[in-house]
């Protein structure tokens, strides 16, 4: 069996930033004169900022000039950055550090594979940068999830075959990206929504050390 690598999504997997993305998009929607629900926000998980704004404007049936589009992209991000300004390690989701520690102890290479252009400063705020052998984020990719690019770059950086990588994801687009990279996909969240994943867990508290050990001892070729 080849070396195994683990790839973590950030938003909704390591930290619950999905709520701050939601608040920032909702503020913009309200300013533009329409509502934006939590259910609609599901469509935004794992999706690039640009694509999110396109979907938001579709929802509100708002036509934008290029200049308006660019302004709203900036405005959303400024609001989002305000929401996360005071973020600290207390916002790391339960048992994420335990799983990271377990993998480190086993000398398993770990990468971040996130669509966010704010990934690095968030990892710094919550003090987790040192766990990651590679950080691949929205600044490093040309194609957004469900395209597998972000995870393939991460596998390459770790020096691990794609088929030997295991991905933690909370977004449908992310599970699809992992699957099309022929990686093992682990859905974190609602198993009905993430039903394309190879494994499903509500959160990391459900992921036991023995499950991780079993993953490390398997050959992951699909």
Active site residues: 9, 11
According to CB under 6 A, which one of 4, 28, 47, 186 is a site residue for ligand BG6? 47
Q: C-beta of 40: minimal distance to Mg ion in Å?
A: 16
Q: Is 137 in the site for Mg ion (CB under 5 A)?
A: no
Give 184: exposed, middle or buried? Use CB within 10 Å, 0-12, 13-18, 19+: buried
- State which residue, 11 or 155, has the beta carbon closest to ligand BG6: 11
Pairwise CA distance, residues 47 & 50, whole Å: 8
- State which residue, 137 or 170, has the beta carbon closest to Mg ion: 170
Contact 31, 76 (CB under 8 A): no
CB neighbour list of residue 208: distance below 8 Å, 6 or more residues apart: none
Q: Is 170 in the site for Mg ion (CB under 5 A)?
A: yes
Pairwise CA distance, residues 197 & 187, whole Å: 5
Q: Is 118 in the site for ligand BG6 (CB under 6 A)?
A: yes
Number of residues that bind Mg ion (CB under 5 A): 5
- State which residue, 43 or 62, has the beta carbon closest to ligand BG6: 43
The region of 38-46, 64-72, 99-107, 198-206 touching ligand BG6 under the rule CB under 6 A is 38-46
- State which residue, 9 or 212, has the beta carbon closest to ligand BG6: 9
According to CB under 5 A, which one of 7, 11, 108, 166 is a site residue for Mg ion? 11
Q: Is 109 in the site for Mg ion (CB under 5 A)?
A: no
Pairwise CA distance, residues 35 & 59, whole Å: 9
Strands (E), 16-138: 110-113, 134-136
CB neighbour list of residue 131: distance below 8 Å, 6 or more residues apart: 100, 104, 110
Q: C-beta of 216: minimal distance to ligand BG6 in Å?
A: 26
Q: Is 44 in the site for ligand BG6 (CB under 6 A)?
A: yes
Q: Which of 91, 133, 90, 130 is nearest to 110 (CA)?
A: 133
Q: Is 12 in the site for Mg ion (CB under 5 A)?
A: yes
Pairwise CA distance, residues 208 & 193, whole Å: 22
Contact 204, 97 (CB under 8 A): no
Q: C-beta of 2: minimal distance to Mg ion in Å?
A: 27
According to CB under 5 A, which one of 99, 111, 171, 212 is a site residue for Mg ion? 171
Half-sphere exposure of 76 (CA within 13 A, CB side): 27
According to CB under 6 A, which one of 114, 157, 176, 200 is a site residue for ligand BG6? 114
């Amino acid at each position: 069996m080849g070396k195994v690598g683990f790839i973590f999504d950030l938003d909704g997997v390591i930290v619950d930033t999905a709520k701050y993305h939601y608040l920032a998009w909702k503020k913009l929607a309200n300013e533009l004169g329409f509502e934006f629900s939590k259910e609609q926000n599901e469509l935004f998980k794992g999706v690039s900022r640009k694509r999110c704004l396109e979907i938001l404007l579709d929802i509100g049936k708002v036509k934008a000039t290029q200049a308006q589009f660019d302004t709203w992209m900036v405005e959303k991000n400024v609001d989002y950055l305000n929401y996360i300004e005071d973020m600290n390690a207390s916002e790391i989701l339960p048992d994420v550090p335990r799983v990271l520690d377990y993998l480190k102890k086993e000398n398993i290479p770990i990468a971040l594979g996130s669509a966010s252009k704010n990934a690095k400063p968030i990892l710094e705020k919550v003090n987790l940068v040192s766990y990651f052998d590679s950080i691949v984020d929205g600044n490093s990719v040309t194609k957004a999830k469900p395209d597998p690019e972000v995870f393939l770059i991460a596998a390459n950086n770790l020096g691990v075959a794609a088929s030997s990588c295991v991905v933690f994801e909370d977004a449908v687009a992310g599970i699809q990206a992992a699957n099309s990279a022929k990686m093992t996909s682990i859905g974190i969240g609602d198993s009905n929504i993430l039903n394309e994943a190879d494994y499903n867990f509500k959160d990391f508290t459900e992921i036991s050390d023995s499950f991780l050990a079993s993953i490390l001892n398997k050959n992951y070729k699909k």
